[in-house]
């Protein structure tokens, strides 16, 4: 679905697969869509959050959809109610110091 929204792939197949997920989740066709125009990137991101809740994809999805630095959630930034923005250094993880010291060709990611 995401690739089709970004201009590649088969829209009909994407709609069919989306509807299969909705039918499995709700037990009926009440949440099905007729065309891709009924879905936008935010709805897709929300659906991925529900579908992949325990799979560990959320951070990567938020970065890929451009929401990681600006979307707020509980305890983001060490604040109980969350914060709306954080430093862009968090888009990348730091390289392990053992790797950096073992390989002089590696440069630590900015901010770490």
CB 68 within 8 A of CB 75: no
Task: Dump pLDDT digits (tens) for 13-55.
Answer: 999 988 998 999 899 999 999 998 898 889 889 988 988 999 9
Structure tokens at 61: 């999805």
Enumerate the H helices of the chain as residue ranges. 2-5, 11-26, 41-51, 58-64, 97-102
pTM exceeds 0.85: no
SS3 36: helix
Least confident of 1-10, 33-42, 58-67, 84-93: 1-10
Distance CA 35, CA 64 (A): 23
């Amino acid at each position: 679905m995401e690739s089709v929204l970004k201009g590649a792939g088969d829209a009909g197949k994407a709609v069919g697969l989306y509807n299969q997920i909705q039918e499995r989740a709700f037990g009926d066709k009440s949440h099905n869509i007729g065309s891709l125009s009924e879905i936008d990137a935010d709805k897709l991101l929300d659906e991925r959050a529900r579908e992949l809740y325990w799979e560990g994809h959320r951070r990567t999805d938020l970065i890929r959809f451009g929401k990681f630095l600006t979307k707020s959630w509980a305890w983001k930034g060490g604040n109980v109610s969350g914060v709306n923005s954080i430093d862009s250094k968090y888009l990348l993880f730091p390289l392990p110091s053992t790797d950096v010291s073992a390989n002089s060709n590696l440069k630590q990611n900015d901010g770490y």
